[in-house]
């Protein structure tokens, strides 16, 4: 039996939740409504600001703009850059954990590379690997790699010393300490790397596409801007937002699967 | 009785960028089979270092360690080690945790499986074998950690402040528990602690170390009349406070220097 207080508490909680959701939806609708209304009344110039109905028209007319193809290109580049950047980053972090000497040597380079704006490497990357998809993927890797190395190495080094000592009392080899202690103890580090990297890879891909590309959402945005097709620019930005949300959602789903199966709480 | 462990002329000097630190100087003692011996001393006197050296985890600067008359270098298979924390791996089940030592040493077998199973049953943990460490109480976790160590069948067990992470109530229970298990399994124990009453209640002898560099100040033999002695019954004996005072003074004088 629920007590009265309990009922009240649950009711209040639900009410609060609904209130937040309603407000969120209201803000979105009001924003779109005002935008549309002001454009129709010509208070703002819809040539420069575009307007929701025109964005919707562009969106529903996917075929004409070849939008699906552009979305596919950006998604492909992001996923490849994300997977390569994350894997490479974790592998390098493992190597640096293994060799204290290498970690010390690499330290100042990592610090400098980490603070260097990777977009500045754009022209170099294009000249080295060629203008095309490969340059965009390299850009995505460049942006996520160093952060991944630093964050994972840090996680490895912060693993509870006692666990390592315990393993050593059983004559564990360094490889065993890595596979049985360090890696499983850092599952949460990996997951947070994944979460950060999905966003970073998208940044890398879009800035790559700005510099060099024949397709992709970044290309559409730049192209739309150059020919003053603001409908196209706005539509691409909105799709990009949705794409980023979906990718993040997939990582969160993956996290939940891992946590449930391994009983990490 | 047979001498199971002999510590001979052990010294340890740490090299640091600022210079040399003498941690231990000329430590000598022997353990008889089945004996329980505690090491106490002011903090920083090198008692944990001594244990690490005996276990083979740390290099010694000078001296020799003999186990059953044989000189040992490195980690001996006759020695089990229990650390301050239980160090259970949260991502493994209890079963998988107690098997860890065997797994790391690569000596898992049908017999060892049976042996571990028997240990778990004997000490009331078998029904929890598929649970995860976070579902167990502090005392049970410590027992799991002990069984993980016993699984590799050590003859000597080193306990490094093994109970200090537990709260007082649990600690008394766990000390009693582990004492009884070790006696039953006929294991020799060398215990490092900063708790004088724990040292008295668990051991046959207490070794007192001086401040750094640690040397042996005194070795006290602890004897109680009870036939079936255990740590809790010891605490009730009138002799207990007598021993406590002696040891407390010995440590206290040192601190005032």
Assign A45 a pLDDT band (cuts: 50, 70, 90): confident
A132 versus A176: the higher-pLDDT residue is A176
A216 versus B253: the higher-pLDDT residue is A216
A263 contacts B132? CB cut-off 8 A: yes
Residues A146 and A242 placed together within one structural domain of the fold: yes
Residues A177 and A109 placed together within one structural domain of the fold: yes
Structural domain contains residue B146: no
Span A12-29, mean pLDDT? Answer: 94
Q: Which domain holds residue B197?
A: 1-78+156-162+187-257
Region for residue A117 given its phi and psi (left: phi exceeds 0; alpha: psi -120 to 50; beta: otherwise) = beta
How many domains, in total, are found in chain A?
2
A245 versus B139: the higher-pLDDT residue is A245
Span A233-255, mean pLDDT? Answer: 90
Span A5-27, mean pLDDT? Answer: 92
Radius of gyration for the alpha carbons in chain A, expressed in angstroms and rounded: 24
Residue A265: the pLDDT is: 41
A169 contacts B75? CB cut-off 8 A: yes
Tokens of B18: 């600022």
Mean model confidence pLDDT for chain B: 86
Span B64-86, mean pLDDT? Answer: 86
**Nearest-angstrom CA–CA distance, A204 and A136:** 7
Question: Considering CB atoms only, which of A160, A168, A176 is closest to B57?
Answer: A168
Q: Minimal Cα distance from A260: which residue of B?
A: B91
B103 contacts A187? CB cut-off 8 A: no
Residue A263: the pLDDT is: 55
Residues A18 and A90 placed together within one structural domain of the fold: no
Residues A35 and A144 placed together within one structural domain of the fold: no
Residues A118 and A172 placed together within one structural domain of the fold: yes
Which residues does chain A have within 8 Å of residue B84's beta carbon, measured at their own beta carbons? 162
Question: What 3-state DSSP class applies to A51?
Answer: coil
Structural domain contains residue A14: yes
Q: Which domain holds residue A132?
A: 58-262
**CA of A264, closest CA in chain B: separation in Å?**
7
Which residues does chain B have within 8 Å of residue A190's beta carbon, measured at their own beta carbons? none
Assign A262 a pLDDT band (cuts: 50, 70, 90): low
CATH number of the domain bearing residue A238: 1.10.3720.10
Structural domain contains residue A51: no
B57 contacts A165? CB cut-off 8 A: yes
Mean model confidence pLDDT for chain A: 89
**Nearest-angstrom CA–CA distance, A57 and A84:** 37
Q: Tell me: the pLDDT tens digits for A89-131?
A: 999 999 999 999 999 999 999 999 999 988 888 888 889 988 8
Residues A28 and A137 placed together within one structural domain of the fold: no
What percentage of chain A reaches a pLDDT higher than 90? 51
Given CB atoms, is B97 within the 8 Å cutoff of chain A?
A: no
Inform me whether the pLDDT recorded for B80 exceeds 80. Answer: yes
Q: Tell me: the pLDDT tens digits for B131-170?
A: 999 998 888 888 899 899 989 888 899 998 888 878 888 8
As to burial, measured by CB atoms within 10 angstroms (0-12 exposed, 13-18 middle, 19+ buried), residue A7 is: exposed
Inform me whether the pLDDT recorded for B253 exceeds 70. Answer: no
Structural domain contains residue B56: yes
Assign B240 a pLDDT band (cuts: 50, 70, 90): confident
Residues A10 and A104 placed together within one structural domain of the fold: no
Positive or negative, the Cα torsion across B20, B216, B192, B115?
positive
Residues A65 and A180 placed together within one structural domain of the fold: yes
What order do you get walking across the sheet with B62-67 strand by strand?
B19-32, B3-16, B62-67, B70-71
Structural domain contains residue B122: no
How many domains, in total, are found in chain B?
1
Residues A22 and A86 placed together within one structural domain of the fold: no
Assign A175 a pLDDT band (cuts: 50, 70, 90): very high
**Nearest-angstrom CA–CA distance, B201 and B232:** 7
CATH number of the domain bearing residue B34: 3.40.50.300
Q: What is the pTM of this model?
A: 0.84
Structural domain contains residue A53: no
Residues A71 and A124 placed together within one structural domain of the fold: yes
Question: Considering CB atoms only, which of B55, B90, B104 is closest to A167?
Answer: B104
**CA of A6, closest CA in chain B: separation in Å?**
28
Structural domain contains residue B14: yes
What order do you get walking across the sheet with B156-160 strand by strand?
B79-82, B156-160, B188-192, B36-40, B205-209, B216-221
Structural domain contains residue A213: yes
Question: Considering CB atoms only, which of B84, B90, B104 is closest to A172?
Answer: B104
- Are the beta carbons of A206 and A218 closer than 8 angstroms? yes
Quote the longest CA-to-CA distance of chain A.
79
Mutate to test the interface with A, among B76, B102, B104 (most CBs of A within 10 A): B104
Structural element, H or E, at residue B209: strand B205-209
Structural domain contains residue B33: yes
Which residues does chain B have within 8 Å of residue A175's beta carbon, measured at their own beta carbons? none
Q: Minimal Cα distance from A187: which residue of B?
A: B91
A170 contacts B91? CB cut-off 8 A: no
Residue B89: the pLDDT is: 92
Residues A17 and A101 placed together within one structural domain of the fold: no
Given CB atoms, is B90 within the 8 Å cutoff of chain A?
A: yes
Q: Tell me: the pLDDT tens digits for A65-91?
A: 688 888 889 999 999 999 999 999 999
Q: What is the DSSP string of B63-91?
A: EEEEETTEE--S--TTEEEE-SS----TT
Residues A11 and A76 placed together within one structural domain of the fold: no
Distances (CA, A) of A124 to A35, A128, A129, A211, B25: 42, 6, 9, 11, 62
What percentage of chain A reaches a pLDDT higher than 70? 97
Inform me whether the pLDDT recorded for A41 exceeds 80. Answer: yes
B75 contacts A187? CB cut-off 8 A: no
B134 contacts A170? CB cut-off 8 A: no
Angle at B42 between CA A167 and CA B83, to 5 degrees: 15
């Amino acid at each position: 039996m629920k007590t009265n207080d309990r009922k009240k508490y649950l009711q209040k909680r639900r009410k609060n939740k609904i209130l937040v959701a309603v407000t969120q939806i209201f803000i979105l609708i009001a924003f779109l409504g005002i935008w549309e209304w002001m454009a129709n009344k010509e208070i703002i110039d819809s040539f420069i600001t575009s307007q929701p109905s025109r964005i919707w028209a562009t969106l529903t007319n996917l075929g004409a703009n070849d939008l699906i193809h552009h979305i596919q290109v950006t998604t492909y580049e992001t996923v490849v850059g994300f997977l390569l950047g994350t894997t490479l980053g974790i592998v390098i972090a493992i190597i640096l954990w293994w060799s204290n000497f290498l970690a010390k040597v690499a330290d100042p380079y990592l610090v400098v590379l980490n603070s260097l704006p990777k977009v500045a490497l754009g022209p170099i990357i294009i000249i080295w690997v060629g203008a095309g998809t490969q340059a965009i993927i390299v850009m995505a890797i460049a942006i996520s790699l160093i952060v991944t190395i630093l964050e994972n190495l840090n996680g490895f080094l912060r693993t509870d010393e006692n666990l390592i000592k315990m393993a050593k009392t059983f004559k564990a080899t360094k490889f065993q300490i890595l596979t049985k202690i360090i890696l499983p103890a850092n599952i949460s580090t990996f997951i947070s790397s994944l979460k950060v990297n999905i966003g970073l890879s998208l940044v890398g891909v879009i800035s790559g596409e700005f510099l060099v590309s024949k397709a992709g959402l970044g290309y559409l945005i730049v192209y739309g801007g150059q020919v003053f097709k603001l409908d196209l620019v706005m539509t691409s930005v909105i799709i990009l937002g949705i794409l980023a949300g979906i990718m993040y959602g997939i990582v969160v789903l993956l996290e939940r699967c891992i946590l449930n199966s391994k009983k990490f709480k | 009785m047979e001498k199971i462990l002999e510590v001979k002329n052990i010294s340890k000097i740490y090299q640091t960028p600022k210079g040399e630190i003498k941690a231990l100087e000329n430590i000598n003692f022997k353990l008889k089979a089945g004996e329980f011996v505690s090491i106490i001393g002011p903090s920083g006197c090198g008692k944990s270092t001594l244990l690490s050296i005996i276990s083979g985890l740390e290099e010694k600067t000078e001296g020799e360690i003999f186990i059953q008359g044989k000189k040992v270098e490195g980690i001996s298979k006759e020695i089990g080690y229990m650390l301050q924390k239980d160090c259970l791996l949260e991502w493994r089940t209890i079963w998988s945790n107690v098997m860890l030592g065997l797994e790391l040493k690569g000596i898992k077998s049908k017999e060892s499986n049976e042996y571990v199973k028997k240990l778990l049953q004997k000490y009331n943990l078998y029904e929890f074998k598929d649970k995860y460490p976070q579902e167990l109480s502090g005392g049970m976790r410590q027992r799991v950690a002990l069984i993980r160590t016993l699984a590799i069948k050590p003859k000597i067990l080193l306990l490094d402040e093994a109970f200090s992470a537990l709260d007082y109530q649990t600690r008394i229970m766990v000390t009693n528990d582990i004492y009884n298990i070790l006696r039953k399994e006929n294991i020799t124990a060398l215990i490092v602690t900063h708790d004088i009453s724990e040292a008295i209640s668990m051991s046959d002898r207490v070794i007192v170390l001086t401040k750094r560099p640690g040397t042996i100040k005194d070795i006290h033999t602890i004897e109680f009349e009870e036939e079936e002695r255990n740590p809790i019954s010891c605490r009730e004996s009138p002799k207990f406070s007598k021993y406590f005072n002696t040891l407390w003074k010995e440590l206290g004088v040192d601190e005032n220097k």
